[in-house]
Amino acid sequence: MKRPPLLIRSRQRGLSIVEVLVSLVIGLVVVGAVLLSYITSGQTNKLQAAYAQMNEDAQVGLQILSRDLQLAGYAQPTSMDPATFQFGRTYSGHAVFGCDTGFVAANTTGAVACAGAGSPAIEVVYEADLSNSVPHSSGVPSDCLGAALTQDTTATPFFYLTHNRYYVSVSTLGRSELHCASKLGNSGGALVDNVETMKIWYGEANPADKRQIVRYVSAANVLDPTFAHVVSVRVCLLMRSAEPVLSAEDPANYFDCDSVAQVSADRFARRAYFTTTALRNKMTF
For residues 204 and 229, the answer to whether their CB atoms sit within 8 Å is yes
Residue 284: per-residue pLDDT:
60
Which pLDDT tens digit goes with each residue over 40-87? 666 678 888 999 999 999 999 999 999 999 999 998 887 777 777 777
Distance CA 120, CA 100 (A): 4
Distance CA 96, CA 284 (A): 16
* Phi, psi for 34 (deg, rounded to 5): -65, -45
Count helices and strands in the chain by DSSP H and E runs: 2, 14
The pLDDT mean for the chain works out to 87
Long-range contacts of 3-10 (CB under 8 A, 24+ apart): none
Distance CA 246, CA 264 (A): 9
For residues 158 and 151, the answer to whether their CB atoms sit within 8 Å is yes
Peptide bond into 157 cis (omega under 30): yes
**Which one, of 188, 166, 184, 170, lies nearest residue 102 by Cα?**
166
Which pLDDT tens digit goes with each residue over 239-279? 999 999 998 888 889 999 999 999 999 999 999 999 999 99
> Is residue 21 scored above 80 in pLDDT?
no
Q: What is the dihedral of CA 135, 104, 200, 280, to 10 degrees?
A: 40
CA distances from 60 to 107, 121, 191 (A): 23, 18, 9
DSSP one-letter code for 147:
P
Residue 115 burial (CB < 10 Å; 0-12/13-18/19+)?
Answer: middle
Residue 203: per-residue pLDDT:
96
Which pLDDT tens digit goes with each residue over 197-230? 999 999 999 888 777 899 999 999 999 999 999 9
The alpha carbon dihedral of 243, 246, 251, 252 has a sign of positive
% pLDDT > 70, the chain = 90
